[in-house]
Structure formats: C-alpha cells, structure tokens
Structure 1
Amino acid sequence: MAHAILAFFSVLALAPIAIIVMNAFKSRDAIFGAPLEPPTTGTFDLIGFRTVFANGNFDAYFMNSFSVTLVALGGTILFGSMAAFALSEYKFKLNSLTALFFTMGIMVPIRLGTPGILELMVASGLVNTRTALVLVYIAQGLPMAIFILAEYMRTVSDDLKNAGRVDGLSEYVIFFWLVLPLLRPAMVSVAVFTMIPMWNDLWFPLILAPGEDTKTLTLGAQAFIGQDVTDWNSVLAALTLSILPVLALYLVFSKGLIRGITSGAIK
C-alpha cells in the first residue's frame, strides 16, 4: 500500500515535467492535437529549440541565472552555517529568541516585503543588477539553511571542538577546518532545497532586474508569451532547458541529500 501511494505521488509530480519535455520536441499542431502523446517521426520538430538559441538570447539568460544562483547558494550556505554554529555552540540570553526569529523566516514569505526591498534597492542603486538578486536570494534561503544546519550542528562531537580549543585553535579555524567538513550531507540538503526556488523564481527578476542584460532564464522565457499569440514551441523548449541544471544537481547529489535528511532524522 505504501509503495502504491508513493508511486502515485511520483507519477503526479513527474507527469507535468514529462508533458513539457515531450511537447518541446513536437510541432505546434501536435502540441494542441495530441499533447499527451510522445513525439513520433511525423510530429518530431526542433523548431522551438532553434528559435530559443537563434532569437531568445538564451546563452546570456542562462549565464545570468547560473551566476546569480551559484553566488547566492554559496552565500546562503556560508552565512547559514556560520549562524548555525553560533546558535548551537554559544549560549546567550537571546539564543532561543534569535533562533525563533530565523525560523519565522520560513513561515513568512519574503515576497510580502517586496515594496520595502524595492525601495532599498533603488536607494542603494542596485536595481537592474545581479547583485540585487543575489542579496534577496541569500536572505530568502538563510532561514531554511540555518534551521537545517543548526539541527545537524548539534550532533557534532563537543570533544572534537574542545580538543581544538585545547590545542590553541581559534574559533574560525575550528569552524572552517573541523566542523564545516562534517556538515557536507546537511549542506547538500540545503543546496537542493534552496537552489530550486532561486533558479525558478520569476517574481524578483521581474521587479529588480528586468533589463535585457540582467534577465534570468525564467524571465527571458516570457518573451515568447504574447498577449494574442504565444510561441508554445519556444516556451516549452526554454522550460525544458531550464529543467536540466536542477535535474543534474539532483542526480549528482541525490545520495548526499538522502543521507543528510536521514542523518538529521535519526540523530
């Protein structure tokens, strides 16, 4: 019974992706005529991919998404692990309150603060820059990162850290050389959970970086959606290409993701 339920939800989650990928390789008539059928020799067509690469400025959009996501992901893991180390290692009066404050960031959508964020970016001169997106995405990912890493950080042996202090190591050395390498499973979990919202986001690129030089892949795909006519071949091709990095990340780190989740659950 459990396997049947898991199989049902797996099909439910994968079906939309399969439909997008199948229709990306079909002609326009086949997309509307038989959207649930795989491409055949009669319906196979790469016009969408040719249009994306020829007229969609795909390379620039992809590099914008890739650079923003990579830098934001690195900042989220670095600052999140440092905050988690402080919350789990040092006991101070506002420790619990600070942890609760970060946890609230998971429950409150960052989009509610869009007017204030936009005003801050305008005042800082960061509108239409990738820096604006990086800063917002780091702020968006920190609550989840701190929550996961803090719980995993508490499982690190105190004897290891105290041995380093006895040997005269500074707190920075203990953190970067002793503790951080042990957090790799948890960091993989954080990377997967926080990368997907960053990569797929349309809201903040549309508001903070709508310029042609700073458009992300998700925002660039909107160019094929018109008020009267939509180039569905190009839209589906762009979506298919945007799925590849996320899929590659999961395939590479799937074992580490499962290990990080189960380690936190068991410990």
Structure 2
Amino acid sequence: MSPAPPLVLTVAGSDSGGGAGIQADLKTMLALGVHGMSVLTAVTAQNSRGVHGVWELPEDAVRAQYRAVVDDIGVHAVKTGMLATAPLVETVAALLAGTPGVPVVVDPVGVSKHGDPLLAASALESVRTALLPVATVATPNLDEVTQLTGIVVEDEAGMRRAADAILAYGPRWALIKGGHLPGDAAEVVDLLTDGTEEHWLYAPRHDNRHTHGTGCTLASAVASGLAKGLPVPKAVREAKAYVTGALAAGFALGEGIGPVDHGWEHRR
C-alpha cells in the first residue's frame, strides 16, 4: 500500500455548479497532491449566472462531520470558506481552537463572484472575534477587507493599511488579494505579511472573465502547501503560481461566468 498523502480538510459550502466552494477546494487538493476531506456548512443552488438559493446546515451537523474526520483520520491543515451565519462561524471557530498545532487558512467569504451575499451581516463580528484569531493565514479580497474593517483599498499603500487592520484581529499572517484594485494594470498584486516581514506577489493579469472560484482555489492551495510542511511564504507563492495558471485557463460554462481550470497543469 502507498502511504497516505498529506490530509487537508475544507469547511465550506457546496457550489452545485462545481466552480467554487467545496467542489473547487477538493479539485485543488487533488491537483496539488493532497487528500481532501470536507465538512459541508451550507448547500447552494448555484450556476454560472449566480446563487439562486442557500440552505445552511445545523451546527450539530457541522460539528459531527468535523469530529468524524478529525478524530479518526486526522488532519494536517484546514481551510474554511463559506460559513454563512454567526452560529456556524462560532461553531467552526471553537472546533478549530480545539485542534491545536494544525494550520488554518481562513477565506472570509462574504459575497459570491456574482455579488450574491454568502455571509450574514450579523456574522461579521463573529468572524472578527472568533474565527480570525485562530487563523494561520487569512485571505480576504478587497471587498471582504471593506466588510471586515471599513477600509476601502485603492492602491498598494491601502493594502498595507488593510493588512494591519486584519492582523489586529489575530491571524498570524494576512494575505490581502489585490485583484480588485481599480485600474487596468498589467499585473495583479497581493500582499502577504505577518506585520514584520512583507512579501509582494505579482502575477500577469489575464484577459479572461471566467474567474469563478478564484478565492476558494487560492485558499485551498495555500492549505495544501501548509499540509506538506511548507513555510507560509513558500506555500503562498506556490499557491499563487497555481491559481495564476488556473485563471489563464478558465473556461466558459453556461451563460455567465465560468470557472478557473483546476486541472490546467494536467491538461497543459
């Protein structure tokens, strides 16, 4: 028998269209050579045009899934995505706090690619006070930065202010994703910092509207690197390279925004 690969658990919602959420997480993990496991927090009716319905799971169901996986199989890294409500955020945060020594990547999902809300406004304070303090890396995009901190980022100096504000809530590292910066720069820039060292990550901006699942994919790729034992900066750089390729290969699906291509390296 082969030895088991590194184990990564995603705690997130389901995307019935397959481009984001649990589905994107598990595809990313498979592509990057780790074993993906899942705790489902919500079911969405979703396609390339938007989110048409959301049904959250009870906290007991989320807790039971987590305990079933972690207590028997174990885990080397956890990634969180859509948590939807304050009770679910607090439930997941408590589970993570009770799993010491395991790196956690928090993608504080607030809205879908189509602008549909995926986190109740009443849950924002729970994200700030319960979830971010247990994060090894928090990966907000600029809209999520504004939701959490009130800071509107318009340039790289603003990204630095945003990172400081996110770090004040307790994560060890903040990865501020600059893909939504205004303008049409030829490069996309992200900032990774722990408040002491800074890593500015640049990649070419691809002229491709099919970007559904980008945030989920990046956070899952970072978690996969951490599960392999990579230090945070190297895990993030490798994740950024993987996502850049997936963005370039994103494809049309349905009538709206298609997904990134999680298998781009295998089809290259």
- Short-chain TM bin: under 0.3
| Structure holding more strand per residue | 2
| Structure holding more helix per residue | 1
For CA contacts below 8 A with separation 6 or more, give which structure has more relative contact order: 1
State TM-score, norm by structure 2: 0.25
